Structure 1
Amino acid sequence: MAMGRPRAFNIDEAVEQALQVFLSKGYEGASLADLTQAMGINPPSLYSAFGSKEGLFRKALERYAGERGACLSEALAQPTARAVVEHLLRAVAGLQTGAHRPQGCLLVQGALVCGDAAQPIREELSSRREASRRALQARLERAKKEGDLPRDANPAALALFVSILIQGMAVHASAGTRREELHQAVDVALLAWETKSRPR
């Protein structure tokens, strides 16, 4: 009797399920058993479709980065530096506390407790976080040239400040901090922003 073909699976749905596991457990914390169970497939199917656990993570990362990139693009398009920062922080608060996925940020949680074997993953996530920071810095430098920020403003320091806030929000979101609480923290951060960025 001829053996039937392995059951086909929806790649897009499988990647979404894997993304949720990686968000919850990080890269190294997510075992093959965790991933295959969540995706509803067996290990050979995983390797056939994605090549490796790292290949699967990169697919999940691309999916997540696409959503995050859209959020950043919308923020950078705002008319003022303050509007850029507020839009970004509030959008991130929403993304990190969405009901359809584990809370937090893959660019932060994915690299936590990574050993030497996962160094390429750690470097990839760090590179993506840095790219976002540089994009924000470039937007703030433009704001300074346009007079939207004071002449003594430091766009690099302001962009780093926002990046640190975003990463801190991710850690707190993963620990169960509610969206409303993150928005309260954003309110405080915007007051601090005003003291450093108000045109004089």
Structure 2
Amino acid sequence: MPRGRPRQFDEGAALDAALRLFWRHGYEGTSISTLAQAMGLTVASVYNAFGNKESLFMKAVGHYDRYSASLYEEAFAMTSAREVARGILMGEVDLVSGDATPEGCLMIQGALATGPESEAVQKAMASLRRQAEADVAARFAQVQQAGGLPPGWSAKALAGYVMTVATGMAVQAKSGASRQELIDVVDMAMRIWPEDQRG
């Protein structure tokens, strides 16, 4: 066992503690000493168990799936594009304004703006956001192929619209917007959504 590492070590709990700090303060706003304290480890033990701060952050991002993965799974199981879109947006409301999690979204505020030394983290997060949008576009394309979107509507553009609204809600939540205020945004956003063309 590496020197300084506690005898009782729960990796999942340690990652969750790190995740919540990164979620609340961002990558550059969270120091390794603060992380070690929250994780119940020494700084040396953090390095031994997780590598450097960048490696720990990316592992914490992977741990974020325990909060966000079901959001998209449940939304993608819906039948119509409207239901999928609303499912994603309401899931984001729960994620960014829930009592059990920090305000906002790790994928947005974790490393949106960084210094040159953290460029790799910034690029990794941008890639993950692009992948999420591509997944939404692919689901809308399936609906489109089944005749569920009006002629001329773009699955890719609709995915961009949904993810832009979701991103904005995350920023608003971090700025203090209430859950009801975010739900009102979802209701407004859905007013422009096309009805399911299959009736």
Q: TM-score, normalised by structure 2?
A: 0.92
The SS at the match of 1:172 is helix
Which residue is 2:150 aligned to?
150
Distance 2:94 2:103 in 1: 10
Distance 2:38 2:112 in 1: 21
The SS at the match of 1:7 is coil
Distance 1:92 1:149 in 2: 23
Deviation, structure 1 residue 198: 5.8
Deviation, structure 1 residue 104: 0.8
Which residue is 1:135 aligned to?
135
Distance 1:12 1:30 in 2: 19
CA RMSD of aligned residues (A): 1.7
User: What is the 5 A alignment of 1:67-146?
Assistant: 67-146=67-146
Which residue is 2:6 aligned to?
7
8 Å contact kept, 1:103–1:173: yes
Q: Which of structure 1's runs of 4+ aligned residues deviate more than 3 A?
A: 197-200
Distance 2:5 2:62 in 1: 26
The SS at the match of 2:98 is coil
Deviation, structure 1 residue 85: 0.4
Deviation, structure 1 residue 37: 1.7
The count of aligned residue pairs is: 195
Q: Which amino acid aligns with 1:177?
A: A
- Closer/same/farther in 2, CA of residues 198 and 37 from structure 1, 3 Å limit: same
Deviation, structure 1 residue 67: 3.2
Q: Which amino acid aligns with 1:32?
A: I
- Closer/same/farther in 2, CA of residues 155 and 136 from structure 1, 3 Å limit: same
The CA deviation string for residues 158-195 of structure 1, in whole angstroms up to 9 with x for no partner, is 1100110111111111112111111110000000224x
Please list every run of 5 or more consecutive structure 2 residues that lacks an aligned counterpart in the other structure: none
Which residue is 2:182 aligned to?
182
- Closer/same/farther in 2, CA of residues 7 and 159 from structure 1, 3 Å limit: same
The SS at the match of 2:102 is coil
Which residue is 2:161 aligned to?
161
Please list every run of 5 or more consecutive structure 1 residues that lacks an aligned counterpart in the other structure: none
Distance 1:6 1:64 in 2: 24
Distance 2:147 2:5 in 1: 62
- Closer/same/farther in 2, CA of residues 6 and 158 from structure 1, 3 Å limit: closer
Deviation, structure 1 residue 6: 4.2
Deviation, structure 1 residue 90: 0.3
